[in-house]
Amino acid sequence: MRKQSPALEKYRKKRKFGVTAEPRGGKIKRGGDAFVIQKHAATRLHYDLRLELDGVMKSWAVTRGPSLVPGEKRLAIHVEDHPIEYNSFEGTIPKGQYGGGTVLIWDQGRWIPDHDPRKGYAKGHLDFALEGRKLKGHWHLVRMRKRPGERQDPWLLIKSQDDAARGPKDPDILEEKPKSVVSGRTIEKIAKAEGDAVRESKKSIAENVKRIKKATKAKKIAPKQSTKNAAKKPKK
Ligand code: MN
């Protein structure tokens, strides 16, 4: 097997590739500045914020999603690094698998850190701008102290005061723009499409089994071939 960077070890350990359609992630390529937010209807609906840093997507599960209101502090649970290939993942993670549920690409673009992002990430304080399709302007991501018993670091995602900010009475961006920036679909539509695809594939498997059974039966009742010919046939 190809030698792989340990950066995504945690990510890979949690998933069964082949069961889930999520990407395994290839070689680490540094230098990008992508950001993505994926709406994820798992056991509990949340929005995964991912910022590219040194070849991986640093990831936070924002439980209530981002808010454009500067006073609103949104809890962002720090989770394992994801591969950059994950940014284009939209679909359904099978039930019973890690993160089982439907994923929608809610926003994407690039992020521009105000300071050295490595230092900021290590320190637990990132100030940055987002140039997304939905989210723009300046943001803070600040690490909180972990409480006893908490496994993952809680951070807070907070909008800065600027032209892209909204007031508490303005429309909520999550409700205003719920659709995928890639496919234009709602989470319900993606979930339904996947359900249809699964039903279709189950149906076609069942039909194939029927066809094989029929063919085998036909072969059994077919006139006996000479032993010479039968010997040439590959064993089943
Ligand atoms: Mn998630």
SS3 state at 194: helix
- Centroid of ligand 1 to alpha carbon of 47 (angstroms): 7
- Whether residue 232 is predicted with pLDDT greater than 60 in this model: the reply is no
Q: Is 175 left (phi over 0), alpha (psi -120 to 50) or beta?
A: alpha
Residue 224 pLDDT greater than 50, yes or no: yes
Where do the DSSP E strands lie in 63-100?
73-82, 91-93
208 Cα–ligand 1 center, Å: 36
Distance 212 CA to ligand 1 centre (A): 41
Q: How far apart, in whole angstroms, are the C-alpha atoms of residue 139 and residue 141?
A: 7
- pLDDT band, residue 163 (cuts 50/70/90): very high
pLDDT tens digits, residue range 45-91? 999 999 999 999 999 999 999 999 998 999 999 999 999 999 999 99
Q: Is the pLDDT of residue 231 over 50?
A: no
Neighbour-count burial of 42, counting CB atoms closer than 10 A to its CB (0-12 exposed, 13-18 middle, 19+ buried): middle
Residue 40 near residue 103, CB atoms below 8 Å: yes
User: Residue 186 Cα, ligand 1 centroid: separation in angstroms?
Assistant: 17
Give the distance (Å) from ligand 1 centre to CA of residue 64. Answer: 12
Is residue 8 scored above 60 in pLDDT? yes
Which whole number is the average pLDDT over 12-18? 93
40 alpha carbon to ligand 1 midpoint, in Å? 5
pLDDT at 223: 54
50 Cα–ligand 1 center, Å: 10
Which pLDDT belongs to residue 236? 45
Distance from the alpha carbon of residue 116 to the mean position of ligand 1, in angstroms: 27
Using DSSP's 3-state secondary structure scheme, residue 205 falls into helix
What separation in Å is there between the alpha carbon of 123 and the centre of ligand 1?
Answer: 24
Q: Per-residue pLDDT averaged across 212-236, rounded?
A: 59
Mean pLDDT of all residues in 174-183? 98
Task: Return the pLDDT at 201.
Answer: 73
- Give the model confidence (pLDDT) of 83-127 as tens digits: 999 999 999 999 999 999 999 999 999 999 999 999 999 999 999
Q: Which pLDDT band, with edges at 50, 70 and 90, does 29 fall under?
A: confident
CA of 214 to the centre of ligand 1 (A): 45
Q: Who contacts 66 (Cβ-Cβ below 8 Å, separation ≥6)? A: 37, 47, 49, 74, 135, 139, 157, 159, 173, 174
Measured in Å, residue 122 CA sits from the centre of ligand 1 at 22
- Residue 9 near residue 83, CB atoms below 8 Å: no
Q: List the shell of residues around ion ligand 1, using CB closer than 5 Å.
A: 40, 48
What separation in Å is there between the alpha carbon of 46 and the centre of ligand 1?
7
**Span from the CA of 67 to the centroid of ligand 1 (angstroms):** 18
